[in-house]
């Protein structure tokens, strides 16, 4: 994937507003979550989110030109620019950093927020691999594409643009606090991180930011079909060691 140019990086910087969302009972549920990664608690009603801007530290990191990565940590984009008249690529992503060495990037349906059931499921999985810490931090929600009136000429709104946007975001986060692994939960999360169009659960890939991505099912998908939890656990259980 080619690095985003200065003007595009400035546009990402200017528009990287996120929505922080944490139900009132989420921390309690996360801290008391059972070790069994398949265990679930009753769903809690979500609290209304409040939009906040990216922190000054994140803005400064985004504004800093990226360093050159080793060849093994770079890859070419696997999707061409959006064809004329084709619909834009749409997704919502949730980002957590529960521990310094691991972050989570989870795809969810546009406009939806992680429900209490899904937060408990994530807490259980993280606890099972020893990455829960003191509980789940607030989630950062990111929507793609950005609002049309915020667009920059030449910035695609297809998956190629989404990949550039996510690459800049993850690189900035990793400069603030280095992490080794990214759980890519859901196909859309894996695709925007740089995987192919049909990533397989358990697939691992080197990300442009320098971390290692691990493809799993999304929280939404596992809530819809609990049988998928076993495949996700099989993909990440090596981290427990």
Q: For residues 33 and 168, what is the distance between their CA atoms, to the nearest angstrom?
A: 33
Give the CA count within 13 Å in the CB-facing half-sphere of 181: 20
CATH label of the domain that carries residue 185? 3.40.470
Q: Does 38 map to a domain? A: no
Per-residue pLDDT of the chain (241 residues; tens, 9 = 90+): 545 555 555 555 555 544 554 444 443 444 444 445 544 433 443 443 333 334 444 445 445 444 433 333 333 333 334 445 546 788 999 999 999 999 999 999 988 999 999 999 999 999 999 999 888 999 999 988 875 545 455 667 888 888 989 999 999 999 999 999 999 999 999 999 999 889 999 999 999 999 999 999 999 999 999 999 999 999 999 999 8
148 lies in some domain: yes
Residue 65, domain member (yes or no): no
The domain tally of the chain equals 1
| Residue closest to 75 by CA, chosen among 216, 171, 193 | 193
By residue range, what is the domain housing residue 236? 6-30+89-240
Query: Is residue 61 included in any domain, yes or no?
Result: no
């Amino acid at each position: 994937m080619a690095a985003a140019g200065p003007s595009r990086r400035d546009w990402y910087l200017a528009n990287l507003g996120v929505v922080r969302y944490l139900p009132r009972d989420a921390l309690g549920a996360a801290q008391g979550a059972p070790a069994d990664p398949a265990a679930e608690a009753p769903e809690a009603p979500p609290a209304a989110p409040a939009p906040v801007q990216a922190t000054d530290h994140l803005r400064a990191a985004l504004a800093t030109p990226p360093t050159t990565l080793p060849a093994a940590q770079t890859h070419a984009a696997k999707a061409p620019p959006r064809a004329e008249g084709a619909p834009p690529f749409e997704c919502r992503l949730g980002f957590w950093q529960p521990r310094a060495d691991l972050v989570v990037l989870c795809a969810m349906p546009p406009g939806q927020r992680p429900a209490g059931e899904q937060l408990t499921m994530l807490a259980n999985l993280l606890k099972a691999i020893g990455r829960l810490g003191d509980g789940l931090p607030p989630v950062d929600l990111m929507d793609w594409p950005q609002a049309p009136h915020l667009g920059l000429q030449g910035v695609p709104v297809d998956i190629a643009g989404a990949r550039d946007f996510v690459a800049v975001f993850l690189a900035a986060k990793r400069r603030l606090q280095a992490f080794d692994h990214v759980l890519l939960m859901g196909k859309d999360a894996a695709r925007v991180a740089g995987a192919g169009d049909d990533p397989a659960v358990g697939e691992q890939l080197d990300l442009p930011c320098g971390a290692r991505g691990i493809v799993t099912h999304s929280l939404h998908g596992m809530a819809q079909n609990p049988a998928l939890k076993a495949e996700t656990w099989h993909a990440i259980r090596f981290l427990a060691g």
